[in-house]
């Protein structure tokens, strides 16, 4: 299906430390093998579900490194305190998950800024963009942070300048 749809990459969640760890790691290995055969990169997602206590630097570093050592070309994980240690422990690029809806757009912009500042190459943000009162402004502001290294102040200005009426 991925080839038929002409995708740029495929993704799979792994659940390190859960009852599904073995099953998801085996599935990741298979997906990486298939992706390699057809030149399709694999993004491994270090999923934690509702287990918020797993959003610490030690767990995210371990699961990100496992994914990379298995052959994932990019890893999606959560932002946490000491995030730069997660980035340093992982030999492939990391993008952060946007996570649950934050209280304000400013909080989401700060999250994106902090992650990029500490070594992430990008963000995979959903509800903090499409549930925003100004999703177009939000995506443009996040883009400026990721691709232009914009400050939170500059990103906030971009967000407000694209308000729809």
46 contacts 67 by C-beta, under 8 angstroms? yes
Give CA–CA dist 147/105, Å, rounded.
Answer: 18
Active-site residue, selected from the candidate residues 50, 54, 76, 140 = 76
Our answer to whether residue 76 is catalytic in this structure is yes
Q: Is 156 left (phi over 0), alpha (psi -120 to 50) or beta?
A: alpha
**What are the DSSP calls for 82-131, one per residue?**
THHHHHHH-SS-EEEE--SPPSSHHHHHHHHHHHHHTT-SEEE-SHHHHT
Helix or strand holding residue 42 (H, E):
strand 42-46
Closest to 45 in 3D by CA, of 9, 7, 84? 9
Catalytic residues: 76
């Amino acid at each position: 299906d991925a080839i038929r749809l002409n995708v740029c990459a495929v993704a799979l969640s792994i659940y390190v430390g859960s009852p599904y760890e073995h099953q998801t790691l085996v599935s990741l290995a298979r997906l990486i093998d298939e992706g390699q055969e057809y030149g399709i990169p694999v993004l491994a997602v270090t999923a934690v579900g509702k287990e918020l206590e797993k959003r610490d630097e030690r767990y995210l570093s371990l699961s990100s490194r496992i994914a990379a050592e298995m052959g994932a070309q990019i890893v999606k994980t959560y932002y946490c305190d000491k995030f730069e240690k997660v980035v340093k422990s992982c030999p492939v690029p990391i993008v952060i998950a946007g996570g649950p809806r934050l209280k304000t757009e400013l909080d989401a912009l700060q999250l994106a800024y902090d992650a990029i500042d500490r070594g992430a190459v990008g963000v995979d943000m959903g509800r903090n963009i499409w549930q925003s009162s100004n999703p177009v402004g939000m995506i443009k502001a996040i883009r400026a942070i990721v691709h232009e290294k914009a400050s939170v102040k500059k990103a906030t200005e971009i967000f407000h300048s694209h308000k729809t009426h």
